[in-house]
């Protein structure tokens, strides 16, 4: 005999009240209040009640496999004849890993079926069934679930699956790996009426893997579009997944129609990924691009990129036809400081063809285009704990894209010793010159290559490579004199090793000077000594009581230094310069070394310098403030010059002056520099040993000067973060946008924040955050009496947020010397909730172009976009 425990409970309940309810099984279902003992607080339908129920009973086949707990706010009813229990209003049922909440839930203990639906009232259809299984939540119009087989049939299902919001007409769950759906809508929009959706007639859902279906149609704001595909496929894997990168398309004047940045993304593992992309053009041009990001948490992270382009311009057979190839390599690597406090490896690489940023058809970095220098550095630093020594090994690269010259150090090794005090006491402060005597040592070795684009990465670039090593030791100390002066003697010894030297001689046959390079070890040594004395002088000017300015303080730090370096004639030789035997000139065989040649002539110089700071104490407008506010009037005013007592002529060096201050609460920074020569010029513009004032001029002759000003202002409601929302991500040059933004960054959804935060603004008294930045620069030169302003320009940029979803930006400038506008860029960005639209425009100049983009924010549908670009006319570069 098999026992069915739920039926036994219902039978006992029926017998106990048989006298009063003899016809109970023929009456409507029994209803109890939620305050009854079997109401809301009753959690288990099959929970044992006494010792009899605790006896071991063999569970019959077909019984409920797990404990079912339930609750409801209003009522519960039972139908013993049909083994039905119905829960009303905020009903909830737990069965294993399944939780169901709904307005009405019906449980059939005989068929193991649970049915849930909402409630219709005056407000509409409320308390829709919500099912949570294994952390996955879904909302339904109604649902039927078999608690034993876990098969289900649902209508009007809403759920979020790996970032996709889905709504299905009918969903049929067969097992844990197969779910059939019909009339499914897929979107990432969070609005009740989605901005867009993809509707699929019929499909199959494999949890955590994919959705595959038949005909799919793209819908925008509930308006069907003619974008229809006979099939559909949506990957549902968690995290990064490999997949196809859809290309963008367009056309250029020279290369014709193109497809750019199409390829495949490889999610190789959790630490490393790789994107392989390519470009093709109808005239035969092509390009390849590889990008990778890597990260090991708490250790290091970085990115790598390589691009190569093979471009054809013009038509084959015509005179203007030409071919060019460009490449660019970028690598950025940084190490977590906590991974190894005593060793650090870092890299910042940007090298390639000098014409890459001017000729590339797929590069939109404005700052790199305007900058004429590419630089790279790969370094390893290590500190030897317990010793004063540090080691730095680096490889550097500097490239001038105008002259196409390249200088590389492969590698550069440096070992340095921190200052040590051999005579300092083990405990207590250092006193006197001897105890303050400190020494430092630095060793540097370089393998340096000077080459050009033509020989870069070729064997010829190593033919002119130079090698050198330098030892540098310094000895210094300091002591107080007369309480107010600081005396600091110093000495330096330098030794340089080279592995080749030059030999010059006059060749009678060719009538020219021949220079040979002779391999072998060579060295030179030199030393110098000196001392400096400095002090600090304070001067205060106190204003009358009640004045807004309480006092002005002038801080002056004068310094007098003396240095002596002897002559080293032993490192110099003579050679005949022409067929005249008396035309003898001097040279150093080591003068072409990477650290320079040995010094020539005695240096016995006296240095004079003074630095001034002006500050003021100003009473605050706030009467509650008791302390005066200190402000800076002039942050620095420095003057310096030298007098070489050993020189035969021109003993005074030019007077160098620099000054800097800030205004408007440090919003405007002003810096001024100038060089003033006390000597005059002859009629040929050459410097002569005669003071300028004695030559009919002023005391000093201004030879060059420069003025720079930077000013930044923004509205009170503007924040640093919000001001940058409409701008591209800052590029690796560290630009603040004053020279323009990366045109591509604002249009590439992979570079965007995919968050869909809703922004709101007030209808009345709304604010428009804005910011403006100015940079002014002027340079003057008069070294040979030319009296010329070499450069004079004003750069400006700004951003304004018209609404929380409309942003505008601009970058431009004016060249007062050449009378024309500099590189100008206009930026427009519109947040369309689920979509993003941007337009970047360079309206005039040799790089005239525009970039329009509109696409879905979400990375899942980042390929749903329209991207239109106008390429600059490369023939102008």
Q: Report whether 549 contacts 618 (CB < 8 A).
A: yes
Q: For 766-777, what is each residue's pLDDT tens digit?
A: 678 889 999 999
Nearest to 850 by CA among 870, 829, 826: 870
Is 80 exceeded by the pLDDT of residue 80? no
Q: Report whether 366 contacts 264 (CB < 8 A).
A: no
Q: Average of pLDDT values for 492-504?
A: 93
Q: How far apart are CA 487 and CA 439, in angstroms?
A: 17
Q: Which residues have C-beta within 8 Å of that of residue 390, sequence separation ≥ 6?
A: 381, 382, 383, 384, 415, 416, 417, 418
For the chain, percent of residues with pLDDT exceeding 70: 84
Q: Where are the domains of the chain?
A: 1-113, 239-422+441-449, 713-876
Q: For 634-683, what is each residue's pLDDT tens digit?
A: 999 999 999 999 888 899 999 999 999 998 888 889 999 999 999 998 88
Is 50 exceeded by the pLDDT of residue 726? no
Q: How far apart are CA 144 and CA 112, in angstroms?
A: 10
Nearest to 691 by CA among 654, 658, 642, 656: 654
Q: How far apart are CA 465 and CA 627, in angstroms?
A: 64
- In 3-state terms the chain splits into helix, strand, coil percentages (rounded to 5) of 5, 55, 40
631: β partners:
616
* DSSP annotation string for 182-200: EEEEEE---SSS-SEEEEE
- Quickly state the pLDDT bin for 497 (edges 50, 70, 90): very high
Is 80 exceeded by the pLDDT of residue 75? no
Nearest to 80 by CA among 140, 160, 135, 18: 18
Q: For 682-715, what is each residue's pLDDT tens digit?
A: 888 888 988 989 888 888 999 999 999 999 888 8
Query: Cα-flanking dihedrals φ and ψ of residue 671, to 5°?
Result: -135, 135
Q: For 404-428, what is each residue's pLDDT tens digit?
A: 888 888 889 999 999 999 888 888 7
Residue with tokens 């509930």: 222
* DSSP annotation string for 140-151: -SEEEEETTT--
Residue 411, preceding peptide bond in cis (omega within 30° of 0): yes
- Quickly state the pLDDT bin for 721 (edges 50, 70, 90): very low
Other residues' Cβ atoms within 10 Å of the Cβ of residue 305: 17
Q: Report whether 255 contacts 312 (CB < 8 A).
A: yes
Nearest to 381 by CA among 370, 371, 369, 390: 390
Other residues' Cβ atoms within 10 Å of the Cβ of residue 728: 27
Q: Average of pLDDT values for 541-566?
A: 89
Is 60 exceeded by the pLDDT of residue 58? no
Q: How far apart are CA 195 and CA 183, in angstroms?
A: 18
Q: How far apart are CA 203 and CA 181, in angstroms?
A: 5
pLDDT of residue 743: 59
Q: How far apart are CA 605 and CA 129, in angstroms?
A: 92
| CA 336 to chain CA mean position, Å | 16
Residue with tokens 């390893």: 380
Average pLDDT, the chain: 81
Residue positions counted in the chain: 877
Q: From residue 571, give the alpha-carbon distance in Å to each of 443, 444, 520, 526.
A: 22, 21, 16, 10
Is 50 exceeded by the pLDDT of residue 2? no
Token pair, residue 606, equals 């006296």
* DSSP three-state, residue 379: strand
Q: From residue 15, give the alpha-carbon distance in Å to each of 498, 651, 720.
A: 112, 125, 77
Q: Which residues have C-beta within 8 Å of that of residue 748, sequence separation ≥ 6?
A: 853
Highest mean pLDDT among 377-386, 729-738, 743-752: 377-386
Task: Please give the biggest Cα pair distance in the chain.
Answer: 146
Query: Cα-flanking dihedrals φ and ψ of residue 64, to 5°?
Result: -60, 130
Is 70 exceeded by the pLDDT of residue 353? yes
pLDDT of residue 288: 93
pLDDT of residue 544: 83
Query: Cα-flanking dihedrals φ and ψ of residue 481, to 5°?
Result: -120, 125
153: β partners:
144, 172
pLDDT of residue 369: 67
pLDDT of residue 717: 61
What 385-392 contacts at long range (C-beta under 8 Å, 24+ apart), as own/partner pairs, is 385/342, 388/417, 388/418, 388/419, 388/420, 389/415, 389/416, 389/417, 389/418, 390/415, 390/416, 390/417, 390/418, 391/415, 392/416
* DSSP annotation string for 372-403: -EEEEEEEEEEE-TTSSEEEEEEEEEEEETTT
Is 90 exceeded by the pLDDT of residue 332? yes
**Cβ neighbourhood burial of 439 (10 Å; 0-12, 13-18, 19+):** middle
pLDDT of residue 367: 66
Is 70 exceeded by the pLDDT of residue 532? yes
pLDDT of residue 16: 38
Is 80 exceeded by the pLDDT of residue 43? no
Token pair, residue 298, equals 């708490």
Q: How far apart are CA 129 and CA 141, in angstroms?
A: 7
- Quickly state the pLDDT bin for 68 (edges 50, 70, 90): low
Q: Which residues have C-beta within 8 Å of that of residue 241, sequence separation ≥ 6?
A: 235, 267
- Quickly state the pLDDT bin for 452 (edges 50, 70, 90): confident
Helix (H) or strand (E) holding 10: helix 5-16
pLDDT of residue 787: 87
The lowest-confidence range among 4-18, 67-81, 241-255 is 4-18
What 786-789 contacts at long range (C-beta under 8 Å, 24+ apart), as own/partner pairs, is 786/685, 789/817
- Quickly state the pLDDT bin for 338 (edges 50, 70, 90): confident
Q: For 288-318, what is each residue's pLDDT tens digit?
A: 999 999 999 889 999 999 999 998 887 777 7
Q: Report whether 16 contacts 8 (CB < 8 A).
A: no
Question: What is residue 368's DSSP assignment?
Answer: H
Highest mean pLDDT among 61-65, 159-163, 405-409, 453-457: 405-409
Determine how β-strand 573-576 pairs with β-strand 549-565.
unpaired
Q: Report whether 803 contacts 761 (CB < 8 A).
A: yes
Token pair, residue 782, equals 């008069």
Nearest to 109 by CA among 89, 79, 88, 131: 79
pLDDT of residue 7: 43
Q: Which residues have C-beta within 8 Å of that of residue 28, sequence separation ≥ 6?
A: none
Helices and strands (H, E) in the chain, number of each type: 5, 54
Other residues' Cβ atoms within 10 Å of the Cβ of residue 319: 7
Q: Report whether 288 contacts 310 (CB < 8 A).
A: no
- Quickly state the pLDDT bin for 873 (edges 50, 70, 90): low
């Amino acid at each position: 005999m098999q026992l069915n425990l739920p039926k036994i409970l219902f039978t006992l309940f029926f017998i106990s009240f048989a006298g009063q309810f003899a016809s109970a099984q023929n009456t409507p279902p029994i209803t109890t209040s939620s305050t009854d003992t079997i109401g809301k607080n009753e959690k288990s339908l099959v929970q044992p009640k006494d010792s009899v129920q605790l006896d071991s009973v063999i569970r019959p086949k077909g019984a409920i496999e797990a404990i079912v707990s339930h609750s409801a706010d209003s009522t519960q009813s039972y139908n013993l004849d049909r083994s039905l229990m119905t829960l009303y209003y905020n009903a909830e049922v737990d069965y294993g890993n399944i939780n169901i909440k709904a307005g009405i839930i019906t449980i059939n203990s005989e068929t193991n079926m649970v049915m849930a639906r909402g409630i219709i009232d005056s407000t509409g259809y409320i308390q829709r069934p919500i099912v949570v299984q294994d952390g996955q939540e879904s909302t339904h119009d109604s649902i039927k679930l078999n608690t034993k087989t876990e098969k289900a049939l649902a209508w009007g299902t809403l759920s979020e699956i790996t970032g996709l919001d889905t709504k299905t007409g009918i969903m049929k769950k067969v097992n844990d790996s197969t779910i059939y759906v019909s009339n499914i809508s897929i979107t990432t929009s969070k609005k009740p009426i989605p901005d867009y959706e993809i509707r699929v007639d019929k499909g199959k859902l494999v949890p955590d893997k994919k959705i595959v279906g038949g005909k799919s149609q793209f819908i925008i704001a509930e308006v069907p579009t003619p974008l229809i595909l006979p099939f559909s496929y949506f990957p549902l894997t968690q995290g990064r997944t490999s997949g196809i990168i859809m290309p963008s398309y367009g056309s250029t004047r020279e290369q014709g129609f193109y497809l750019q940045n199409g390829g495949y993304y490889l999610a190789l593992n959790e630490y490393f990924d790789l994107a392989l992309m390519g470009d093709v053009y109808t005239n035969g041009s092509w390009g390849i691009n590889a990008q990778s990001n890597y990260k090991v948490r708490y250790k290091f992270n970085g990115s790598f990129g390589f691009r190569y382009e093979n471009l054809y311009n013009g038509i084959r057979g015509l005179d203007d036809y030409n071919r060019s190839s460009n490449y660019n390599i970028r690598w950025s690597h940084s190490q977590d400081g906590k991974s190894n406090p005593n060793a650090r490896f870092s890299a910042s690489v940007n090298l390639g063809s000098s014409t890459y940023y001017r000729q590339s058809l797929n590069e939109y970095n404005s700052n790199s285009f305007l900058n004429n220098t590419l630089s790279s550095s790969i370094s390893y630093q290590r500190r030897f704990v317990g010793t004063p020594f540090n080691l730095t090994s680096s490889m550097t690269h500097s490239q001038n894209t105008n002259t196409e010259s390249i200088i590389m150090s492969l590698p550069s090794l440096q070992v340095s010793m921190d200052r040590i005090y051999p005579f300092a006491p083990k405990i207590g402060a250092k006193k006197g010159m001897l105890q303050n005597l400190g020494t430092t040592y630095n060793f540097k070795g370089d393998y340096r290559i000077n080459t050009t684009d033509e020989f870069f990465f070729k064997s010829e670039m190593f033919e002119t490579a130079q090698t050198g090593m330098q030892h540098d030791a310094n000895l210094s100390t300091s002591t107080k004199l007369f309480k107010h002066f600081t005396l600091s003697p110093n000495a330096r010894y330098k030794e340089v090793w080279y592995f080749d030297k030059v030999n010059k001689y006059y060749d009678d046959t060719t009538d020219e000077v021949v220079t040979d390079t002779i391999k072998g070890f060579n060295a030179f040594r030199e030393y110098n000594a000196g001392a400096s004395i400095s002090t600090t002088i304070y001067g205060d000017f106190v204003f009358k009581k009640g004045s807004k300015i309480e006092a002005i303080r002038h801080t002056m730090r004068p310094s007098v230094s003396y240095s002596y370096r002897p002559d080293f004639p032993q490192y110099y030789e003579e050679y005949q310069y022409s067929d005249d035997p008396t035309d003898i000139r001097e040279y150093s065989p080591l003068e072409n070394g990477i650290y320079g040649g040995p010094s020539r002539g005695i240096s016995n110089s006296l240095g004079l310098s003074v630095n001034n700071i002006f500050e003021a104490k100003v009473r605050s407008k706030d009467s509650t403030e008791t302390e005066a506010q200190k402000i800076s009037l002039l942050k620095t005013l420095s003057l310096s010059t030298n007098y070489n007592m050993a020189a035969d002529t021109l003993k005074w060096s030019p007077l160098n002056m620099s000054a800097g201050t800030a205004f408007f609460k440090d919003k405007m920074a002003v810096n001024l520099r100038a060089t003033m020569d006390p000597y005059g010029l002859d009629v040929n513009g050459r410097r002569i040993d005669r003071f300028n004032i004695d030559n009919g001029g002023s005391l000093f002759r201004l030879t060059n000067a420069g003025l720079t000003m930077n000013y930044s202002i923004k509205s009170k409601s503007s924040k640093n973060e919000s001001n940058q929302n409409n701008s591209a991500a800052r590029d690796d040059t560290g630009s603040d946008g004053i020279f323009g933004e990366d045109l591509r960054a604002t249009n590439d959804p992979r570079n965007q924040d995919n968050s869909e935060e809703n922004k709101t603004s007030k209808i009345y008294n709304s604010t428009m955050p804005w910011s403006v930045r100015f940079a002014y620069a002027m340079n003057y030169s008069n070294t040979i009496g030319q009296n010329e302003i070499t450069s004079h320009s004003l750069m400006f940029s700004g951003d304004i947020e018209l609404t929380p979803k409309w942003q505008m930006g601009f970058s431009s400038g004016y060249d007062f010397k050449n009378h024309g506008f500099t590189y100008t860029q206009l930026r427009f960005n519109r947040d369309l909730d689920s979509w993003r639209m941007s337009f970047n425009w360079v309206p005039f100049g040799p790089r005239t172009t525009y970039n329009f983009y509109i696409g879905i924010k979400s990375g899942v549908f980042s390929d749903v976009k329209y991207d239109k670009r106008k390429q600059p006319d490369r023939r102008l570069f």
